[in-house]
Structure 1
C-alpha cells in the first residue's frame, strides 16, 4: 500500500509506504510499485493511531454496558488503534484464570490491546506475572467502580512485585482519609466534587511517588485532575495522564451535566482545569488517556450518591484534541505526542506511536478542516451518551491497525474491518 500526499503533524508533506503490518518508508515522491494499492491523502493530516492507555470495556461481567466488540468499534471510529483495559471487571483481573478469561473475550477487538492486572487482598501475583500483563493497575488507592481500593502496605508490596518483574504500575491516586464528609449532606450535582477533594489527589500522588522512589521503580499516575497532582508527579520524576473530561470540563459544567458529570476523580474548579490545560500545553503532562467508563443512561440518571462514576470517551478523545488544535489552542505535534508518541515511550511499545519506517502501520487520516458535531446516539459505544454532546470534533476519514483498515468513512457511509487485534505484550 502507498499513501500519497499526506501531511504529518510537523508539517512535512510525504508519501508513506506500508509493507504488510509495518511502515516501510516515509519520504517524498515515492514511486508506485506494481500491484500496490494507492491511497491519496489529498493533503490531509496523517497521524500515528492513538494509544489509549486507560479504558474500561466492562467485559467480562457487564456486557450490557460495553463489550470488546462495541468498545473497539468505538475506538476505531475515533482513531484509537491500541487500548489498555483496566482490571475492575467481574471477576476482577487479579488471578491467572481471570486474566485468561478476559484475553479470550479480547479476541473480539478490532484494535490492538493490553490487559492490566489488578491488586486486591486476594490477588495472585505469581499467576499474573506469568502472563502477558501490560501493567499493574489501575491500582486503586481509594474505592471506585468495582471497590478495589487497597491500603498503603499492600500498595508498596505490589509496586515491589511489579518492579521485580519489570512491569509498569499505574495508580488511581486519591486519599479517602481527606474526603470531605460534610458534602454528604448535599444532593446537588457539585456535591461529589466537594466530597472527593483536590487535596485528596495531591496527597495520594505524593505518597504513591514516594513508594516508587523507595522501591526504585517508576509509577504512572492515572487521570490526574489537579495542577497540584500533575506537579507532584513531575517533581518526583514520575509520569502522569490527563483525561479529556478533566482537560475540557469543570465544576462550572455540572449544572448542565448533573449526575452524568460524576466521575472519579471528580471535575475540579475552572481555575484548576485551566491550570491543568497549561500543563498539558507546556509538556508537563505526559499522556492523554480517556478512562472510558461506559455506564447506561438509566444508571447515570440517579441521585448524586447513587449514580456510578465515569463517562465514555474512547471515540471522542482524539477528535476533541484535534478540534483544540484546529482552534489554535494546541499544536498538532503536541496532540501526536500526548496520544501516541509519549504513551509508546512511557509503556515501552517500540513498534507503536510514530509515523516512521519500521513501526507498525497504525495510522489515522483526518481532514482538520471538516469538524463534525458530537452526538451521543451516533457513537458506537453501548453507552449511547457523551458529556460532550453538541461539541465539535475532528474525526478520522480512516483508521488502520498494522496495515489493515479497521474503519473508513466517505460519502457512501462508513465501514468497519474484522476483529484482528493483538495483545501488544505478545508482539513488542
Structure 2
C-alpha cells in the first residue's frame, strides 16, 4: 500500500532566508521533495494549489501555559493546542507551573500522557526546578524533554528558586537548556508595598511596569547570565521586556554556538505602556509591557540577532479573573491563535521580513532546543507546514476565537494575512477556518 501523498503546487516557499516559487511533495509524515515543478504521479494524490500564497514551516512556540492539569477552568491542552494549529503553531513547549507542578518525573509523565491523548499539535514540556528537587532534575532524560524551567521571580506555588547555593548547583549539574523567568522578587515586593500604601488593592494598571520595573528585570537577568558564565550552563532567558536587557546578549556568534540566548514574546513587540489606558488588565503580563522606547529597542535587538526567538508565553485566564482589581487580576493572556497573524501585520508595516519571521519562530527554536527534524522545509523533515494568504483580511471577534477563555487582547484588530492551511506530520489539519478533529500530534524528540 502506497503512503498517502499531498502535493502543494505553486507556493512561495519561505525557508533559510530565501523565498522561492515551487512545489512541495509530502509522503506520509515527511517532506519527500521540493522542486520548481512536481507532477502528481497518480490520481489519489491530494493536490493543493497554493498560487499567491506563502508556505512557511510550522512555528515552534517555546513557551506556553496550557493550564492542564489543575487549572482546566482556564484552558486545556486540547483547547489551546487546537487554537495553536489555527494560528500556524505546529509544536509547543509547555511550562511546569500547573497543579500539581511538573517538578517530579511522575508528574511529567502524567502530562505527557494527557498530551498523547488530547493534543492537536506536537508537544513537549519543561521540567520545573525548585529549591529542593535537584534529585528529580537529575533523573530527567534530556533526549525526551524540552528543557528545565526556573522561575527566578514571579512564580506560582513553591517554584521560586531563590537559594543562591541551590541555583548554582542546578546550573552546574544539568546539561539541559535552562530557561529562566527573570524578575527580581525583592525589588517587586518593595515597589508593590509602596503602591499598595497609596492605592490599596485597586492600583491603576499604568503602574504595573513601574512595580515590575526595568530594574527588577535587569537585576535578575544579569545575575542569571553571570551565573551561566561562571558555571558554563546553557541558559535561555525568556520574554525580554526592556531595552536595557538586550545589551546583555551577543550577535557575534552563530546561534548553534551560543551558550546564552534570549526570547521575546509577541505582546512585548506589539503593545506598549500607552495601551494600558484602553486594554487595562487584559494586557497585564509578567514581565510587564513597558515603554515605547523599550519596545523599539527590543525590535532592534530581534532584528540584529541579539534576541534569538519569538514566542507567545500564551497564558490564559478567564475574563472574570482578568477583570479583578490590580492585585487580584492574574498576569498573562491567550496568544497562540493570533501571534503569527500579528507578526505578518508587522511585515506589512515594513518592520520585519517574512524570512526573518520564519527564522525567529521556526528555525531558531529548532536549533536552540535541538528539535529533531522540524522547523524547516526540507526533504526528510516532518511536514509541519503553514500556508498563508497575505491579502485576505479578517477581524478578531468573539465568534472566531478558539481559546477556552473566549477572549483575546487582539479583539477588534484587523489582520491583513490569514492562515489558510496547516499541515501536521503530513496531515492537513486546518482549512476553511476549521481544525480537523482527527489528531496527528507527536511528542517532540531532541538531537542531544
TM-score interval (norm. to shorter): over 0.9
Change (3 A) 1:245 1:130: closer
| Partner residue, 1:361 | 383
For residues 60-92 of structure 1, the C-alpha deviation after alignment (integer angstroms, 9 at most, x for no partner) is 001111111101100000000000000000000
> Aligned match of 1:23 in 26, 31, 54?
31
Normalised to the residue count of structure 2, the TM-score between the two structures is 0.90
Q: How do residues 240-251 of structure 1 correspond to structure 2 at under 5 angstroms?
A: 240-251=262-273
Deviations 1:302-325 (A, max 9, x none): 011111110110111111001111
After superposition, the C-alpha distances for 1:98-131 in whole angstroms (9 at most, x for unaligned) are: 1111111112101101111001134222443488
CA change 1:254–1:193 in 2 (3 A) is same
Q: Offset at 1:327?
A: 2.5
The partner residue of 1:32 within 22, 29, 40 is 40
> Are positions 1:231 and 2:231 aligned together?
no
Aligned counterpart, 1:194: 210
Aligned to 1:136: 148
2:429 aligns with one of 378, 390, 406: 406
1:146 Cα shift? 4.2
Q: Deviations over 1:15-48 (max 9, x none)?
A: 0011111111111011222132211111300000
Contact 1:94 1:128 in 2 (8 A): no
Residue number in structure 2 paired with 1:85? 94
The structural deviation recorded for 1:377 is 4.5
Structure 1 ranges of 4+ moved more than 4 A? none
- Equivalents in 2 of 1:254, 1:103: separation in Å? 37
Q: Quick check: 1:84–1:115 contact (8 Å CA) kept in 2?
A: yes
Is the Cα contact below 8 Å between 1:47 and 1:365 reproduced in 2? yes
Q: Which structure 2 residues correspond to residues 102-181 of structure 1 after superposition, within 5 A? A: 102-107=111-116, 108-123=118-133, 124-129=136-141, 132-137=144-149, 139-146=150-157, 148-151=159-162, 152-163=164-175, 167-179=176-188, 180-181=191-192
C-alpha contact (below 8 Å) 1:223/1:242 kept by paired residues: yes
| 1:284 matched residue in structure 2 | 306
- For each residue in 1:250-306, what CA deviation from the matched residue of structure 2 results, as whole angstroms up to 9, or x when unmatched? 111001111112110011011111111222233221101000000000101101111
Instruction: State the match for 2:255 in structure 1.
Output: none
The RMSD of aligned alpha carbons is: 1.8
**In the aligned structure 1, how far is the partner of 2:361 from the partner of 2:233?**
23
CA distance in 2 between counterparts of 1:112 and 1:255 reads 37
Give the Å deviation of 1:237: 5.6
Q: Given the alignment, which residue of 5, 13, 27 partners 1:8?
A: 13
Query: C-alpha separation between the residues in 1 aligned to 2:217 and 2:357?
Result: 25
Aligned length: 421
CA offset at residue 422 of structure 1? 1.6
Alpha-carbon distance change, 176 to 244 in structure 1, aligned in 2, over 3 angstroms: same
- How many angstroms does 1:376 deviate by? 4.3
- Is contact 2:371-2:446 (8 Å) kept? no
Alignment correspondent of 2:104 = 95
Extract unaligned runs of 5+ from structure 1: none
SS of the equivalent of 1:267 reads coil
Summarize the Cα distance change of 1:321–1:47 in structure 2 as closer, same or farther, 3 Å threshold: same
Q: Retained in 1: the 8 A contact 2:370–2:447?
A: no
